[in-house]
Chains A and B, each alone.
Chain A
Amino acid sequence: MKVKYFAWVRERIGKAEETIEPPADVRTVGELIGWLARRGETYAYAFETPRVIRAAIDHAHVKSDAAISGAREIAFFPPMTGG
């Protein structure tokens, strides 16, 4: 699945997007954040405070307990400051 990063999440990780293949036991958004955080220092830094990370699956906001199976695109970003 494709994963996209925005704002300071993108800056800390150092990339805007990538393709990932999480193992079958990573089932929810929250578990995916944990799995990504273990990929390296930049990821750990980006996800150091999971409760401020917001997520979207296929362009719709989701909570951390949302299932990721079947997702084509998952995005992680800080709380939004539009408008």
Chain B
Amino acid sequence: MMTGAVNIRIQEADFDVAREIAALTQGRKDIGAVVSFSGICRDGEGNEAISALTLEHYPDMAEAEIGRHAESAMSRWPLTGLTVIHRVGRITPGENIVLVLTASAHRQAAFEAAEFLMDYLKANAPFWKSEEGAKGKSWIEARDHDDAAAARWTKS
């Protein structure tokens, strides 16, 4: 049995989803399912238009924490591999922010692991977004429902 590949990158540059999927599946014939989630910058909420988001992060901790959760996903579900790419820096509406890819023989593991990773990234990954809007630059506030979503993966 081939060992799984965990790919984690934090970078300013954009990513190409098709290329990342190809990298995850290359050379393997045992993958029956690849699930892909892309988080994309929107241009605002309701009446509040934004011109850009800026992502700040805590580098050492982000890598350590995402790595821990990736390893947790690999041991909890039968995955052949996974990829997490989180962009940082200034991002404008329409641009990619985050990518989660999971690969498995069957779809249930791929879907569940992708959701687990995204719920973690939303609630506990050390990144902070500020937005530029008509009123200037302001920090985005965390939402309670992200914490609740992440909590449901905790084993009892």
Which residues does A use to contact B, with CB under 8 Å? 4, 6-8, 56, 59-61, 75, 77-83
Contact = CB atoms under 8 A, between A and B. Distances in A.
A56 B60 CA distance: 11
Contacts of B118: 83
A22 B57 CA distance: 26
Given A6-B56, A83-B118, A56 B126 contact: yes
Interface residues of B, number: 29
- Consensus secondary structure, chain B interface: mixed
B64 A59 contact: yes
Contacts of B58: 4, 6, 56, 59, 75, 77
A80 B123 CA distance: 6
Contact of A7 (B56, B98, B123): B56
